[in-house]
C-alpha cells in the first residue's frame, strides 16, 4: 500500500464512510507494516491529508458548531437526563425517580417541590 498515493487519490472522494475506512487502513498499515509509533502515525503526511478530507466532508465545524455537537452528543449519549418538570438537563447523579411515580425522572429541586406539594 502506497499511503501517499492513497492520501492524494482520496481528495476527490465524497463518501465519508469510504474516507474513514481508508484512514483506518492507512493507520493500520503504518503501525503494522512500517512499524511506526503513535506520534509518528498521528503526524504522518498521509494521515494529515486524510483527516483533513474528513473535516472537509464534515463541513469544517468551527468552535461554536463543535460546542453544539458536543452538547448534543452528551445528551444523546445519556450522560445528561432531562428533568420532566423544568425541562433542564442534569447529570445522572442529580436526577432521581419521583417517589410516587418512579417512571418520572426529576432534578433534585423539582423532586423536592413535588414532595412539598404532596405534604
Q: Which residues bind Zn ion (CB under 5 A)?
A: 83, 85-86, 107, 110
CB of 117 to Zn ion, least distance (A): 14
Q: Three-state DSSP class for 85?
A: coil
Which 3 state secondary structure label does DSSP give 38? helix
Quote the least distance from Cβ 57 to Zn ion, whole Å: 39
**Closer Cβ to Zn ion, 19 or 107, answer by number:** 107
Nearest to 12 by CA among 40, 69, 53: 53
Measured from the CB atom, the residue of 47 and 107 that comes closer to Zn ion is 107
Identify which of residues 41 and 98 has a Cβ nearer to Zn ion in the complex.
Answer: 98
Residue 107 exposed, middle or buried by CB count within 10 Å (0-12, 13-18, 19+): buried
Please state the closest distance from residue 94 (CB atom) to Zn ion, in A: 9
**What gap in Å lies between CA 93 and CA 73, rounded to an integer?**
18
Write down the least CB distance from residue 46 to Zn ion, Å.
Answer: 50
Eight-state DSSP code of residue 15:
-
- Nearest residue (CB) to Zn ion, 27 versus 95: 95
Amino acid at each position: 500500500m502506497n499511503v501517499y498515493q492513497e492520501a492524494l487519490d482520496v481528495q476527490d472522494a465524497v463518501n465519508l464512510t469510504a474516507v474513514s475506512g481508508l484512514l483506518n487502513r492507512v493507520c493500520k498499515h503504518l503501525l503494522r507494516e512500517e512499524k511506526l509509533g503513535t506520534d509518528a502515525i498521528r503526524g504522518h503526511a498521509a494521515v494529515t491529508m486524510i483527516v483533513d478530507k474528513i473535516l472537509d466532508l464534515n463541513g469544517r465545524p468551527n468552535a461554536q458548531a463543535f460546542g453544539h455537537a458536543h452538547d448534543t452528543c452528551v445528551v444523546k449519549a445519556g450522560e445528561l437526563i432531562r428533568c420532566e418538570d423544568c425541562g433542564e438537563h442534569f447529570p445522572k447523579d442529580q436526577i432521581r425517580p419521583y417517589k410516587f411515580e418512579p417512571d418520572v425522572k426529576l432534578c433534585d429541586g423539582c423532586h423536592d417541590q413535588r414532595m412539598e406539594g404532596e405534604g
